[in-house]
Each structure stands twice: as structure tokens, then as C-alpha cells.
Structure 1
Amino acid sequence: MKIKKAVIPAAGLGTRFLPATKAIPKEMLPLVDKPTIQYIVEEVIASGIEDVLIITGRNKGSIEEHFDRAVELEDNLEKTHKEELLEEVRKISKMINIHTVRQKDPLGLGHAVYCAKSFVGNEPFAVLLGDDVVDSKKPCLKQMIEMFEEYNSTILGVQPVAWENVNKYGIVSGEKLNDKIYTVKDLVEKPAMEKAPTNIAILGRYIITPKIFEILENTKKGVGGEIQLTDGLKDLCNIEDVFAYIFEGRRYDVGSKIGFLEATVDFALKRDDLRDSFKAYLRTINLD
């Protein structure tokens, strides 16, 4: 079955970026000159999906506005003959079919995904977390879709992380089939290092079968007093095959300050209009 829909949970409070996120959604913080959530949406488009649902929360209206038309801005750019900027602004509102739904209570990622039940229906779907931006030659989600087409089962996007960081992620336990694929037998949400079965971590990309909604409906609150998607996926492993795929690409945790800064520098250095002058500036910095 073809993957036709994607879900982007974006209802978090962004506490790691306070006070910047007091009034601005963390997903709207820019990497150079583009909101982080736009990078995620562009990955969805590049992977062949045409419909995306963004799960929002209170004070997140600017996300929806970003992907809507800005008539006054467009008129101004047209009158001042700023054609290149006008084209860029118009392209954003036409890039994909954007749908939104509000997660009324902050009950965790599992609950956020459950909010997509009506949108998804009875078909497999993609989930992309806004805190994870992946820079890769082939879009990360496209890689995942290809794995789904081969295995026809839930696919978790994973990479190995440093052992001292396993307590930040959902960790996979299973059998390694080859250099890229694991069969998932169990999942542990944010384990202590000494209790982690592996250092293979789920990093913000999923393709999930619709059976997950039935499970999440009955999933109890877990770590942090929230309904954890990892707990739902753990139960899913008991009733159908789940695989973990080690995707190719550099993943940035833009929900952390250091990850956001790393992504900003790297993305700026990829820009033809910024690379030379930015490199020249970086060479002037005394790092001692």
C-alpha cells in the first residue's frame, strides 16, 4: 500500500528554547531564513507525499499562517518589484495540502499521533518529528518509504547514538538482519545507560500501520506522565512485525540549543549566497 499521508506533531511547548518560545512556536525558529518546520514539510514533498497533517497546540497559529497565503505581503512585494521574494512566498502556500488539528491537552507524543486518527483512516502513514531535521542526498522519509514497500510493516527510523545519550531516546532491542535493518522485539523509552539493550535510537521518523490507533487509545501514561508513542509501538511489536531502519544522512536535534546551532552553521555553509562571507567570518573567530 502506498504511503499517501504524513503527520507532523508540533504541539510541544518548546521549553528548551525559552524565553524565545514564549510567544513563537519552536517549529517557527529559523535555520538561516527558513522555519525548521518548513524543512520537514519539504522532506515530505520530496518523498512523494501530497497531504500532511500538522498537530498544533495553543499559541501555534503562526505555523498555519506560514503555509497560508499572505495577500498583503504578496501585494507589497509585487508593487516593489521584488519578484524573487514574491515567488518564494507564493511557493510556500502552494507546496502541499496542509491540514491542521489542535492537541487540546499536552498529553505526549502518543496522544498527538492519536489525534491524527480521522485524518489517516485505515492506511499506513508517516510521522516526522519537528525536532529532527535530516540532511541527506535521498530524503530520509523516501528511504523509509522504500523500506516499507519492501517489508510492508511498521518502519522506525534509527541511528546509533553515544551510550551516554541513550536516556534521551526510545531505544530498540531486536535482531540485526543486515547492516541497515533490525527486527524490533522490544522498545525502551529513555532508559538509563546501564539498562539500555542497545544504543540504536529512534530519531524522529516513522512509518506506522493504522493498528497503532487502537493501541494508543488504550495506552496508559508512561515516562513523564505522558502517553508515549514508544509504549504504543512496543505493544505493536507483540501483534505484528516492526522493523528498524538505520537511515542515511546527518540528523540534527534542532530542539536542543547545540543541535540548532550546529544545523544553522552547516546549513548556512551550504548556501551559495552565504558560504564565502560566512567562512571568512568564521576564520576571524578566536576560539581560545
Structure 2
Amino acid sequence: MSKHIRKAVFPVAGLGTRFLPATKAMPKEMLTVVDRPVLQHVVEEAREAGIEHFIFVTGRNKGVIEDHFDIAYELEDTLRKRGKAKEYELLMSALPPPGATSFTRQQAPLGLGHAIWCARDIVGDEPFAVLLPDMVTMGTGPKKNRCLSQCMDAYNSYGGNIIAVEEVPKEDTDQYGIVSLGKDFGDTFEITGMVEKPPKGTAPSNLIISGRYILGPEIFDLLSKGKQGAGGEIQLTDSMIELAKMQSFHGVRFDGRTFDCGSKLGFLAANVAFALADPALASGFQNELRKIVGGF
């Protein structure tokens, strides 16, 4: 039987240069999609999938992330005194239980693999999940499950290591980590190979690694070698390639939508999609969109 996945790592040390000047004094992970920060959407996805311990790999000027997942006494007290029960309950529901969050620092921007390695002592000797905070997912299948829940289902069926994947146009495959397909089970398939940002025309498929992983703790020994890959950074994909020589990897075709909130276009699309999915906003927002689009 596969070990229960209790912990998830969130690498949140990035500088957010694509959103300057908005991210000059505010972490990019705290930019809001409708009414909550991007990072809160991702943490909620992890909670829905059964994650119990949330590990944030941060950097300088990221203290507001820690504050966001803590109590805010003055605000909460004011809401109670003013009888704003709905707003108070909304704040309380977003708080992880006491002791369920850990924060560690990545002092230098050495890549995703290095960020994951920084969490090694907190994760310990057990399998864990990784959620890239730029990627916000929305379930569109019958159960409306978000991406990590679908990865958990695959893990419970196959064990080993799990990677969520999505299709991109073939001409864009040089921008991503790409997987090779083995035996196909429909929503899930065996991964027979991986390559990080292959040169144009050489990708083994058009399925990209899309920001949700379940990995065995053996990945930390491989990451500890500090091998530099694409872009001179310590790439997680390079260590996964080595781990795949010893352990199985399966890919999960996510039944839903993923929004890359690390890009302006993806961030704007996420705001539109989540606003239209909110019953309290959908009708009025549709009217506003018609007014805007009608002007072009």
C-alpha cells in the first residue's frame, strides 16, 4: 500500500519580475484572483486533496505570506464586534490548523530543484506533493476535482511518482519540461522519459509538466548533488530523470483548466474564469464583459 501523502511543498521565493511594478513591494503570490491571493487558491487545492502540512520555501520580502496564513487579531476582533459573521467565517476557514505550516528560506535563486531541496528536513523520509504557486487550477470534470486531487487518485492506484501534464502546441514545447509516453491507461499513463526545454522539433510529445507533482523522498539525495541544468539552474526535471531509473513515474492528464498566473495573460484569464464561476458575480460580470468587448 502506498504511503499517505501528508505534506506539500510550495516554492514561493520567486521575484515576480514579469509583474513589476506591482510586485516591487508585494510578493507575486499575493496578487489576487477575484477575492483571494493566487497562493491561497493553490493552498485550498492542496487542502481539498487531503494535505495536512504546508511547507513554504520563501525568500526575502515574503513575510506577508506567513502573515496571511496566521491570525489577524485586530481585523478579526473588529469583524466580530461589527457583527460581520460571514466575513469572519471566511477568514477563519482559510487558516490552516495550528502547527500545520512551516517556512524555510531559499537564500539564492538557484532553480526549482534547489527550492525543493531546501524543504528536505521538514519533509523528512516520506513521499510528498509539490504545487507550483503560479499555476492555478479549476476542475471542470464531473467531480470538479482540482489537479492535485486527481494526482492523489493516480498515486493511490499506481504508487510511485506522479506528474500532472497538459497539452501545448508543438511549436511551444521548447519552453517546458516534456514527458514521453509509455503504456496508456486513459487519464493516466506510464512516463518513459523526460526532457527539460528540448530544442524545437525534438520534443518526444506535446505533453508538458504542468506544476503538480507527487515525489518520493529519494529525490532529495539526487537534488543534493547540485547539478546545474537548463538556464544554469538546479532543475527538478533533471533529478526526476535520475529517479525514474529506480522508481516508476506516471502522468496524469488533468481534467480541468490550468491558468499560468506567472504570466499577465494567464493571470487575467484566471480572474475572468473564476469570476464567471462565482454565482454572486457571474451575471453582472458578463454584462460588464459585453460592454468592454463590444467596444473592440
TM-score of the alignment, normalized to the shorter chain, above 0.5: yes
Q: 1:124 aligns with which of 124, 127, 134?
A: 127
* Equivalence for 1:100: 103
Instruction: Please state if 1:247 is matched with 2:250.
Output: no
Could you tell me which runs of 5 or more consecutive residues in structure 1 were left unpaired when the two chains were aligned: none
User: Partner letter of residue 206 of structure 1?
Assistant: Y
Deviation, 1:167, is 2.0
* Equivalence for 2:60: 58
Deviation, 1:95, is 5.5
Structure 1, 18-27 or 94-103: larger mean CA deviation: 94-103
User: Stretches of 4+ moved more than 3 A in 1?
Assistant: none
Deviation, 1:257, is 0.5
Deviation, 1:94, is 4.1
Deviation, 1:146, is 1.4
User: Partner letter of residue 192 of structure 1?
Assistant: P
User: Partner letter of residue 268 of structure 1?
Assistant: A
Matched-pair contact (CA < 8 Å) for 2:114–2:226? no
The CA distance in 2 between the partners of 1:183 and 1:92, in whole Å, is 36
* Equivalence for 1:84: 86
Instruction: Please state if 1:267 is matched with 2:270.
Output: no
* Equivalence for 1:17: 19
Deviation, 1:34, is 0.3
Matched-pair contact (CA < 8 Å) for 1:166–1:191? yes
* SS, match of residue 194 in structure 1: coil
* Equivalence for 1:168: 175
User: Partner letter of residue 180 of structure 1?
Assistant: D
* Equivalence for 2:44: 42
For residues 199-221 of structure 1, what are the alpha-carbon distances to aligned partners after superposition, in whole Å with 9 as ceiling and x for unaligned? 11000000001110011011411
Q: Pairwise CA RMSD of aligned residues?
A: 1.4
Could you tell me which runs of 5 or more consecutive residues in structure 2 were left unpaired when the two chains were aligned: none
Q: How does 1:214-233 map to 2 (within 5 A)?
A: 214-233=221-240
The CA distance in 2 between the partners of 1:199 and 1:215, in whole Å, is 26
The CA distance in 1 between the partners of 2:177 and 2:105, in whole Å, is 25
Matched-pair contact (CA < 8 Å) for 1:219–1:231? no
Matched-pair contact (CA < 8 Å) for 2:154–2:188? no
* SS, match of residue 87 in structure 1: helix
* Equivalence for 2:220: 213
User: Partner letter of residue 90 of structure 2?
Assistant: E
For residues 189-248 of structure 1, what are the alpha-carbon distances to aligned partners after superposition, in whole Å with 9 as ceiling and x for unaligned? 112331211111000000001110011011411111110001111111122211212121
Q: How does 1:151-162 map to 2 (within 5 A)?
A: 151-162=158-169
User: Partner letter of residue 91 of structure 2?
Assistant: V
Deviation, 1:9, is 0.8
The CA distance in 2 between the partners of 1:244 and 1:272, in whole Å, is 33
